[in-house]
Amino acid sequence: MNKHVIINDVGPRDGLQNQPRVLEIHQRVELINALVAAGVPEIEVGAFVSPKAVPAMAGTDKVFAQLKGDTVFSALIPNMRGYQSAKEAGVPLSSLVVAVSNTMNEKNIGMNTDTALVACQGVFAQAQQDNSEVQAYVATAWECPFEGEVSQADVIDVSARLLAIGAKRIVVADTIGAANPANVTSLMNALVEKFGAERFACHFHDTRAMGLANVYAALTAGVRRFDASIAGLGGCPFAPGASGNVATEDVVMMVEQMGFVTGIDMKKLLTASDLAIQLTGTAKGGKAKLWIEKYLS
Tell me which residues are annotated as active site. 236
**Cα 235 from Cα 240, distance rounded (Å):** 9
Q: Is 75 left (phi over 0), alpha (psi -120 to 50) or beta?
A: beta
Taking each helix axis from N to C end, the angle separating 266-280 and 289-296, rounded to the nearest 10 degrees, works out to: 140
